[in-house]
Amino acid sequence: MKKRLLTGLQPSGELTIGNYCGGIKQVVNYQDEYETFLFVPDMHSITVPQDPETLHRRVREIVGMYLACGVSGTKNHIYIQSEIPEHANLSWILECNAYMGEMSRMTQFKAKSEGKKEIGCGLFTYPILMTADILLYNADVVPTGADQKQHVELARNLAQRFNKKYGEIFVVPEPLIPKLGAKIRDLLDPTKKMSKSAENPKASIFLNDPEKVVRKKIMGAVTDSGEGVVYDEENKPGVSNLLTIYASFSNKTIPEAEKHFEGARYGDLKKEVAEVLVEFLTGLQDRFAQVMSSGIVDETLDRGRDEARAIASVTYDKARRAVGLGRV
């Protein structure tokens, strides 16, 4: 039997080429190796204020984009967190077994609440909901970037504590350090990574950017002093980032890309980066439009919800019996 992997797709903004290189491509690789649970954590999204219409739209679009990028809707379980009530139900049971002390040590909470006058309780308890997301499906592994490491550690602690108290109910998940996908940097400040929630849209290439916009953003990308198209993260972060983008979208290695641009000027590099991006994005956007108008997103989400719920309800039932809720 394949091991189970679980990962979420945050609908916190329009997807960027960074999300494609470092996130979506990874899922395409995982889907053969693991039984993959891919869910949209919309309940996590409302820990910070959201416009309801935008949130509804993004949930469907993010699934549509994954499907258009080659993530299979039939091999994987793809579902929306809020459509499976067991997430909130198990979260409550776990909350009653978590301590204020350990929750107060979560660095992401500290960072996200700093300087705010009114802090939603959801922001504080969110790592417990995340624990429920993982434990409901007996996930063996959870791909974990640096920002989520502490939360996966909490999930392990809560699972172990619960099992010790009530019997072996949960699988204790392991973090999976993702194989390194290319890291794409901010076009205007290449010392930062490109991010879908960046303030200035000119700093990121979004997967649904029109051709003209892509060309304009790339031509406006920050380059470095001096000349010569060489990969040098420290002294030429802007040029190195453009080389990374070029290499990723033309399926070349960095040395191959450097060779390709021998003797070229920064302007030549930018033109060709824009060209490979436009070619990739035009094809992707065509597939995305087809996906969004075909009904496949809803079919996928309906099937995913039913598959996920069948698994989640078994785990939840064990947990609620173990603590004495409801009838035996």
Chain positions contacting ligand ATP, by CB under 6 A: 10, 12-13, 16, 18-19, 21-23, 145, 181, 183-184, 193-197
CA distances from 111 to 44, 100, 104, 108, 147 (A): 16, 17, 12, 5, 11
Residue 24 CB, nearest distance to ligand ATP (Å)?
Answer: 8
Q: In terms of CB distance, is 8 or 304 closer to ligand ATP? A: 8
192/24 Cα distance (integer angstroms): 20
Q: In terms of CB distance, is 112 or 252 closer to ligand ATP? A: 112
Q: Is 242 in contact with 232 (CB distance < 8 Å)? A: no
Which of the following is catalytic: 2, 110, 112, 117?
A: 112
Nearest alpha-carbon partner for 132 in 301, 36, 8 = 8
Q: Would you call 3 a catalytic residue per the annotation?
A: no
For the chain, the 3-state helix, strand and coil shares in percent, each to the nearest 5, are: 55, 10, 35
Q: In terms of CB distance, is 78 or 159 closer to ligand ATP? A: 78
Residue 243 CB, nearest distance to ligand ATP (Å)?
Answer: 14
Which of the following is catalytic: 196, 202, 252, 271?
A: 196
Q: Would you call 164 a catalytic residue per the annotation?
A: no
Residue 184 CB, nearest distance to ligand ATP (Å)?
Answer: 4
Residue nearest ligand ATP, Cβ-based: 22
Which of the following is catalytic: 164, 183, 193, 252?
A: 193
Contacts of 98 (CB under 8 A, 6+ apart): 128, 154, 158
Residue 183 CB, nearest distance to ligand ATP (Å)?
Answer: 4
Residue 52 CB, nearest distance to ligand ATP (Å)?
Answer: 18
Concatenated DSSP letters of 220-275: TS---SS-----BTTTBHHHHHHHHHHHHHTT--HHHHHHHTTT--HHHHHHHHHH
Q: In terms of CB distance, is 222 or 311 closer to ligand ATP? A: 222
135/147 Cα distance (integer angstroms): 19
Q: Would you call 117 a catalytic residue per the annotation?
A: no
DSSP state of 99: -
Q: In terms of CB distance, is 178 or 228 closer to ligand ATP? A: 178
Strand partners, 8: 39
Q: Which residues are catalytic?
A: 112, 193, 196
